Homo-oligomer: A and B are copies of this chain.
Amino acid sequence: MSSEQPAKKRISESTIHRLSMYYRTLSLLQKEGYETVSSKELANREKLTPAQVRKDLSFFGSFGTRGLGYDVNELKAKIGEILGIDRQWKLAIIGIGNIGSALVNYKEFSRQGFSIVKLFDNDQRKIGSNHKGIIVSDIKNLDKEIAEDGIEMVIITVPATVAQYMVDDVVRAGVKAILNFAPINLKVPPNVYLRNENMSMELEYLSFAIVNNHTPKNSK
């Protein structure tokens, strides 16, 4: 075993997002009783082109049958594998305020491969309280509890002023991926993945669109 990086083609962020979309649509098609689906049908449901669908999939292999299309169950399983959601990820939420507690209450996450198993806060009034069967832990025990449970992802929902400290802490504790809601540019080492969820930016986009009569090619 000599090479660390599997010299694979670099996949664009948009392709990955579309895989998520295909996955969701395939779940619906399953429920609707479809056995197979063409790139055309899949594209229609997402307002994309069939070529886009086929190209996206082609980066990872060839999963269809010419003249017939894709087997719905099979393609869904395959995309699930590609996305890494053919398993349960364990997550913790840091900061059990407005957003943090809304997220704990969301049952869909665990059905989609993301189990929230730990909650952390530094407010004595919150520590020990129960959210959907999970007791809020003291942030002081972060290191120990993250390691104990083998948590690999966290959601950051603390005030922006302390978000970087929390990130440094969870990185030190061995977390590999972070979904951040604080409106601030966080620094993470290169081996840790970070995504930002910024609602104000989305509202600003809408504001711009109204004011400028904006018609982009492919909007979210």
Contact = CB atoms under 8 A, between A and B. Distances in A.
A12 B219 CA distance: 9
Question: 3 closest A-B pairs (Cβ-Cβ)?
Answer: A84-B211, A98-B102, A177-B206
A6 B114 contact: no
Given A176-B210, A177-B209, A213-B6, A203 B114 contact: yes
Contacts of A215: 10, 190
A209 B101 CA distance: 26
Interface residues of A, number: 73
A10, A84, A105, A199: residue with the most chain B Cβ atoms closer than 10 Å: A199
A24 interface: yes
B206 A153 contact: yes
B46 A200 contact: no
Interface in A57-116: 82-85, 89, 91, 98-99, 101-103, 105-106, 108-109, 112-114
A11 B209 CA distance: 10
Contacts of A20: 198, 200-201, 204-205
